[in-house]
Amino acid sequence: MKKEDFEIQAKDAAKAMNKKKAPSRPETQFIKGALWAWDILSQGHTIEEYEDILRRDVCDRFQIVHPEQWQELLISETATMMADRDGMQADIMTEGRLLEKWDKNRMPYKESNPLYVHLKELQRSIGMQREHLGLSAKSTKKMESPKRGADEKDKLLDTLSEITNV
């Protein structure tokens, strides 16, 4: 979330508070404000926000103005996965890390939330996508396009041509 968006939401909340009776104790006011800010900041980003973030990261990494066309598809797929990850994490937080289940004898038992498996796989996929975009520590600083044709300088080809000409 950008600072400007947060300020706009803070002004809207202040207008809404004028209509209600505000808490009188300063510590209660602070706690209510901090909880409101936590709710705003802990919300996940939208797909469009993640796309903007990834585009900015790619442009900063490679010192370009716009990402190449092949990177756009990766950016949109990665942004969708990141938004899905935020949704899964929110679901896990609301449902709880352990779910209460009942066996066939109506005896309660606790089970790990099955969304953890999906979340782990999604995080692994996001890491791979970011690596393909060149945004991970494994990727090189400058991604070079593959050579086209034989007009580029190739040391092995030069050596072979010298051997055959001798």
Mind spelling out the 3-state secondary structure of the chain? CCHHHHHHHHHHHHHHHHHCCCCCCHHHHHHHHHHHHHHHHHCCCCHHHHHHHHHHHHHHHHCCCCCCHHHHHHHHHHHHHHHHHHHHHHHHHHHCCEEEEECCCCCEEEEECCHHHHHHHHHHHHHHHHHHHCCCCCCCCCCCCCCCCCCCCCHHHHHHHHHHHC
State the pTM of this model: 0.60
Listed by start position, the domains of the chain span 46-136
Q: How confident is the model at residue 27 (pLDDT cuts 50, 70, 90)?
A: confident
pLDDT in tens, 57-105: 999 988 899 998 889 999 999 999 999 998 898 888 888 889 899 999 9
Percent of the chain whose predicted confidence (pLDDT) is above 90: 32
Tokens in use for 92?
Answer: 């896990």
pLDDT in tens, 111-125: 999 999 999 999 999
